[in-house]
Amino acid sequence: MVKIDECLIEKEQCEDSCRNVLMKNNVPLSVYTNTTSFVGVSARVESECTCDVEEPLICLNG
């Protein structure tokens, strides 16, 4: 799989932090040819202007 980085060039998409988000469609995408047909899904990578800091995992039971 090819890594697509929409945030590669700093400050091009966003002024502050940027992260990549995989957008996928659940509707099947079909391509028909003379002898073969292919079915897949549509997927694309989009940039999202947000700070990607995960919430800390707090476990109170040990």
Domain chopping of the chain, boundaries: 1-54
Distance CA 32, CA 41 (A): 14
Radius of gyration of the chain measured on its C-alpha atoms: 18
pLDDT at 5: 83
Longest CA–CA separation in the chain, Å = 61
pLDDT, one tens digit per residue, over 7-29 is 887 777 788 888 888 899 889 99
Does this model's pTM top 0.75? My answer is no
At 50, the amino acid letter reads T
